[in-house]
Amino acid sequence: MTYQKTIDYLFTSAPLFQNVGGDAYKEGLYNTYKLDEHLGHPHQKYKTIHVAGTNGKGSCSHTLAAILQASGLKVGLFTSPHLVDFRERIRVNGKMVDEQYVIDFVEHHRRFFEPLHPSFFELTTAMAFRYFADQEVDVAVVEVGLGGRLDCTNIIMPEVCVITNISFDHVAYLGNTLAKIASEKAGIIKEGVPVVIGEVVDETRPVFEQKAKEMNAPIFFAEEENEVLEYRLNEEEGITYQTINYGLLQGELGGFCQVKNTATILCAVSRLRERGFVLTDEHIRQGFAHVCEMTGLMGRWQTLQENPRVVCDTGHNIGGFEWIVRQLECVSLKINNVQGRLHIVFGMVNDKDISGVLSIMPQEATYYFCQASVKRAMPHEEIAQMASVYGLGGESYPTVQEAYEAALRDAQERDCIYVGGSSFVVADLLTYLQQKEKESVKKI
């Protein structure tokens, strides 16, 4: 098979959660253990770091990987979902898995896994773990797919566990209270393994403390370490942090939520140092300053162009949008000082708290409601209708591309266009822009 045929086979033969939602969710680890045994328990051949949480786990995973890379280690990185290319999920020192490896893996193992009927994520996780072993990585940063306790990444025995925060998301699978969701994510805590908790509320803290006690696991609350003394947003991009133990850090990622993520990351770095990882202050500075270049991270308050400024972000639930809305309000204030306007290209999938997100979105903006190219996408007409209840006005478009092009036509040089609401809206935008760039190169 060609690479494209292999990917099409994976997408059609194994249920993909980002396309079909609950039909792709397989509770339990039976398939995972079977695949792991068949492949020779590859995750036991290198050290791992396990990262869970409702929001921020992608940014934390990539930044930890960048810091470890800066220290000279060979680092695997497993994250989800991908935005443009499936291979984004599986990286070693920032480089995506080779197309040929994906083809060979499927061809060599399909006779074994087809009778199991694994989910797409179960199969992808098995592939990642085997690839990291074949590449002889020193350490792999592994991001949880959904929840924690029953997530198929949860067969690893990590050096450190990280749980970034708890918010309402995937409530049909994880529970409808913060305590229930926390209990599922606390399932990654292992016997004697240090666990870092990024953020807690009164409802979640006892859950983590009880689980850590049961597992004899040292527990650390990043918020209590007060590592970040102060921070300021840079004029161009990113955030500058003044820290207690690491001096001045220039963070490449510019979203407001990164302040919380930074505290979590630095708490995790301290635990890794205690576990014998040689991570100098310079390694940490490099990781924070060059995380996108070193790991290929995209879609986190990412500026795509200037004049007008275009920003995209993969935030997709109420917890994420509480930060995004604050940032949009800040952008709006700056714009209004120079007679600019805010344009929002917006779409969501149908298993999120759409009403909750719409209720906090800024009203002083022009909206371009759209529909991502996945089955779970909320129809653009329905989003526009729901948004009108909250005083959000604008037109609706059947695709992200059409909505984005309309926003570009309307926007003046001093305006700002924000694109988001779902990882899949951002994915469609980035895919379109990459195709457009390739076509431009061909013409030259």
- What average pLDDT does the structure give for the chain? 91
What is the dotted CATH code of the domain comprising 302-443?
3.90.190.20
CA pair distance 429, 192, nearest whole angstrom: 43
Average pLDDT over residues 3-30: 70
Q: Phi and psi at residue 257, in whole multiples of 5°?
A: -65, -15
Predicted confidence band at 420 (pLDDT cuts at 50, 70, 90)? Answer: very high
| 406, pLDDT greater than 80 | yes
Report pLDDT digits (tens) over 101-126.
999 999 999 999 999 989 899 999 99
pTM to 2 decimal places: 0.92
Average pLDDT over residues 322-349: 82
- Residue 45: left (phi > 0), alpha (psi -120 to 50), or beta? alpha
Contact 83, 432 (CB under 8 A): no
Q: How many helices (H) and strands (E) does the chain have?
A: 18, 17
Residue entry with tokens 């566990």:
161
Task: Provide the percentage of residues in the chain whose pLDDT is more than 90.
Answer: 78
In this predicted structure, what is the pLDDT of residue 169?
Answer: 58
Report pLDDT digits (tens) over 74-85.
999 999 999 999
Residue entry with tokens 């085997």:
130
CA pair distance 371, 425, nearest whole angstrom: 7
CA pair distance 130, 135, nearest whole angstrom: 9
Average pLDDT over residues 323-338: 75
Report pLDDT digits (tens) over 22-57.
444 456 799 999 999 999 999 999 999 999 998 899
Of 201, 296, 208, nearest to 252 by C-alpha is 296
CA pair distance 137, 75, nearest whole angstrom: 6
Task: Provide the percentage of residues in the chain whose pLDDT is more than 70.
Answer: 92
Report pLDDT digits (tens) over 130-152.
999 999 999 999 999 988 899 99
Residue entry with tokens 């990539």:
62
In this predicted structure, what is the pLDDT of residue 257?
Answer: 87
Neighbours of 395 (CB within 10 A): 16
For 394-412, the three-class secondary structure string (H helix, E strand, C coil) is: EEECCCHHHHHHHHHHHCC
- Non-local (6+) Cβ contacts of 315 within 8 A are 55, 255, 257, 321, 323, 324, 420
CA distances to 172, 298, 345, 368 from 401, rounded to whole Å, are 31, 18, 10, 11
CA pair distance 52, 162, nearest whole angstrom: 6
Taking the domains of the chain in order of start, what are their residue ranges? Answer: 3-295, 302-443
| 365, pLDDT greater than 90 | yes
Cβ density class 123-135: b for 16+ within 10 Å, e for less: bbbbbbbbbbbeb
Report pLDDT digits (tens) over 159-198.
999 999 987 654 555 667 899 999 999 999 999 999 999 9
Tokens (6 digits) for 417: 């266009």
Q: Are strands 47-52 and 219-221 parallel, antiparallel or unpaired?
A: unpaired
Q: Classify residue 297 by burial, with Cβ atoms within 10 Å: 0-12, 13-18, 19+.
A: buried
In this predicted structure, what is the pLDDT of residue 14?
Answer: 72
CA pair distance 147, 182, nearest whole angstrom: 9
In this predicted structure, what is the pLDDT of residue 439?
Answer: 75
* Amino acid letter for position 99: E
Which of 97-111, 210-224, 311-325, 354-368 has the weakest average pLDDT? 311-325
Contact 372, 422 (CB under 8 A): yes
CATH 3.40.1190.10 assigned to domain 3-295? The reply is: yes
| 375, pLDDT greater than 70 | yes
* Amino acid letter for position 162: V
Check the CA dihedral 125-129-135-139 and report its sign: positive
What is the helix (H) or strand (E) element at residue 196, kind and residue range? strand 195-197
In this predicted structure, what is the pLDDT of residue 167?
Answer: 79
